[in-house]
Chain A
């Protein structure tokens, strides 16, 4: 099933891809830094760390990210998914500024603006430009066709 325009469901999957990865990493970071220092001498402590709330939430979010990422790649181009979901970096910056009340430098705001512009450029375009094994119709966008 290849679409010129994304359905609401597909848009939701891309939003989950964008949000779950940075939020999962943030949860893992928060969980691991709140634990006492872990060493290889006590490997069971590392195993136990996976069951602490923040680390468990981080792992769950990253599993969700991977499932959504694979789903998105099954109906959209890699170059589309990768660029359209870069917006997740912006989410982290906005959370840092407005939820954690961290200072965000002008350089980082510039990064937010550039990523937003990039995502705004690519997101309205066609998600898939090539044929797949399950899509026997003509490619949505012929190679070299004007956009």
Chain B
């Protein structure tokens, strides 16, 4: 399916947009949940210094948020496979890769309460456009 040739109001346009949105949102959910898990676990280097590598692995594997993050990453992977089965790689690749940069920054600010200041937003926009050019 060539996204560029689709009329904006056609069903095909919205189907393509929904598939890309599914990949982007599930990927973002996975990243944010994983980041939240690691923040709740604490500095892995300190844990490893006190309890060794085994202690660090146990700390990660006993955090439910970590498995929720991995689950959504797996959903994003299969959603991408499904999307690639219906859309051109030239569209799905750049669109998902570049939009994920922006949604991750937004989700980090909203859900993780990170201080995404003007400098980070400018970097996110530059990298989003750069990734689009690279992947296109």
- In the docked arrangement, what's the CA distance between A145 and B118, Å? 11
- Given known A-B contacts A121-B119, A129-B115, A147-B117, A86 and B127 have beta carbons under 8 A apart: yes
B123 contacts the other chain (Cβ, under 8 Å)?
A: yes
- In the docked arrangement, what's the CA distance between A93 and B116, Å? 28
A35 contacts the other chain (Cβ, under 8 Å)?
A: no
The one of A82, A111, A116, A129 that contacts B104, using a Cβ cutoff of 8 Å:
A82
The one of A93, A119, A125, A130 that contacts B134, using a Cβ cutoff of 8 Å:
A93
Contact A73 B39 (CB under 8 A): yes
- Given known A-B contacts A77-B108, A79-B104, A130-B115, A111 and B42 have beta carbons under 8 A apart: no
Given A70-B60, A79-B109, 6 more contacts at CB 8 Å?
A: A82-B101, A111-B134, A117-B126, A122-B120, A130-B39, A141-B117
- In the docked arrangement, what's the CA distance between A99 and B29, Å? 36
B89 contacts the other chain (Cβ, under 8 Å)?
A: no
Contacts of B35 in A (CB 8 A): 73, 77-78, 81
- In the docked arrangement, what's the CA distance between A1 and B41, Å? 12
Nearest-neighbor residue (CB-CB) of B94 within chain A? A111
Contacts of A132 in B (CB 8 A): 39-40, 42-43
The one of A81, A115, A135, A145 that contacts B130, using a Cβ cutoff of 8 Å:
A115
Main secondary structure of the interface of B (DSSP, over half): helix
Chain B residues engaging chain A, CB cutoff 8 angstroms: 31-32, 34-35, 38-46, 60, 101, 104-105, 107-109, 112-120, 122-127, 129-134, 136
Looking at the assembled complex, report how far the CB atom of A15 sits from the nearest CB atom of chain B, in whole angstroms.
16
Contacts of A75 in B (CB 8 A): 43-45
